[in-house]
Amino acid sequence: MLDHNLEEPGVTGIDLIPRIHEIIPDLPVIIMTGENNDELVQEALNAGASWYFDKPLNPKFVPRMLKKDTKIWRSYQREKSRSEALADTRQADHKLEQMIGKSNAIVGQVLNPVDKVAQTDSTVLITGESGTGKELVARAIHFKSLRFKRPLVTVNCGAIPEELLESELFGHVKGAFTNAVARRKGRFEAAEGGTIFLDEIGDMSATLQVKLLRVLQERQFEPVGSSETQDADVRVIAATHQDLEKLIEEKRFREDLYYRLNVFPIRVPPLRERVGEPVPDVALLIYHFLALTNAKSATTDISFTDQALERLIGYGWPGNIRELENCIERMGVLHEGEIDVTDLPEEIRGANAAIGVAPRMPPEGLRFNEVVEQVETDLILQALEHTNWNKNQAASKLGLNRTTLLEKIKKKGLRPPEE
């Protein structure tokens, strides 16, 4: 809102309108004037003013007057919300856990893309191995966006039974099914104006994939048992550790849904790829989790010898950040004071010994991927043979999550000798 008569000589409120619109093109500008002059009013409107008021002005009438023009009112509300959000961004920082890492892999593939996409409403698909921090990336996108004051709702699609997931997502009305004794809001309705994070999207059934596709296309949904359509002003962020393109080939995931989700892809690299100079990301994370572990305990204060730290940094961490965090916390429970190599878990103590399985480079060269694949297969078979094909024990010996080992066994087609 500008007064037409400004204190600066030779400059009027109308003169400032084009300059304002150079900075914020859609910002509604309102001119106040004590001169009841039709030519002045026309000049203000031609310069880009959205409205004008005669003095004296009663501030209570401003919103009421603006609402007479829906376009102006919406523009006014949008710019007001945007200004408030930008002004309060720093206040949201305490809700956002810092993503630790300085390697090119994490900065280039995650941190920089997060900063760019957060300022939009684009749908994001986050991929990466289990334990890499995909939910943390989703939280960063939400709290860096203009939606940060609204809810961030998380749904693990793989943890909820298929028959319950539809009601969990879209809600249901009373009597929709047995035990539906009252209306229940779904996660999409709960996330109105904010963000919904659909974790493990690859586990969603074919039926629900169709319903989710409609939400992404039309921004509408229907609660279970209802024919009433509801609008969904919700940003969708999805994540998976699975290869969705492979699931598409196997007819287990819809191709059209994949392209709706994959508007802005972000791949979170595994910990073994996050090599930085002079300090790899794993070292920064070790110090971070060490500080958290010590802060939680009033009596225990642990540290690592140089040798133990070398083993921790040199370990492959197949379970990624989640495995590293759990390991440091476990060390804090089991030990006090300085922790040496002998105090580390068995799979980490023997990590360096596994390096010896790599073949020597022949003069004529080799096919790298084939050799790595064969070494991986040999190690898995050895672990399975040592444990009589007990997959839980084999996964523990290899330092793998059981799910990861099962996926590798299935992919390689490995079977016990008697089969």
State percent of the chain over pLDDT 70: 77
Q: Residue 147 — very low, low, confident or very high, per pLDDT cuts 50/70/90?
A: very high
Residue with the larger pLDDT of the pair 18 and 128: 128
Q: Return the CATH number of the domain spanning residue range 96-269.
A: 3.40.50.300
**Average pLDDT over every residue of 210-237:** 91
State percent of the chain over pLDDT 90: 38
Residue with the larger pLDDT of the pair 314 and 300: 314
Q: What is the pLDDT of residue 174?
A: 83
- Least confident piece of the model among 22-26, 84-88, 398-402: 84-88
List the domain boundaries for the chain. 2-87, 96-269, 272-353, 362-412
pLDDT digits (tens, 9 = 90+) for 307-321: 899 889 888 898 999
Q: Return the CATH number of the domain spanning residue range 362-412.
A: 1.10.10.60
Q: What is the pLDDT of residue 357?
A: 45
Residue with the larger pLDDT of the pair 92 and 254: 254
Q: What is the dihedral of CA 76, 80, 86, 88, to 10 degrees?
A: -170
Q: Residue 411 — very low, low, confident or very high, per pLDDT cuts 50/70/90?
A: confident
pLDDT digits (tens, 9 = 90+) for 316-349: 898 999 999 999 999 998 888 899 999 998 888 8
Q: Residue 162 — very low, low, confident or very high, per pLDDT cuts 50/70/90?
A: confident
Residue with the larger pLDDT of the pair 76 and 109: 109
- Least confident piece of the model among 178-182, 215-219, 246-250: 178-182
pLDDT digits (tens, 9 = 90+) for 46-80: 777 766 666 665 554 455 444 444 444 454 455 44
Q: What is the pLDDT of residue 412?
A: 84
Q: Residue 388 — very low, low, confident or very high, per pLDDT cuts 50/70/90?
A: confident
Query: Would 2-87 and 96-269 be classified into the same CATH topology?
Result: yes
Q: What is the pLDDT of residue 131?
A: 92
Q: Return the CATH number of the domain spanning residue range 2-87.
A: 3.40.50.2300
Q: Return the CATH number of the domain spanning residue range 272-353.
A: 1.10.8.60
Q: What is the pLDDT of residue 52?
A: 63
Task: Return d(Cα 230, Cα 309) in angstroms, integer.
Answer: 55
- Least confident piece of the model among 12-21, 75-84, 141-150, 382-391: 75-84
Position 351 pLDDT exceeds 90: no
**Average pLDDT over every residue of 110-131:** 95
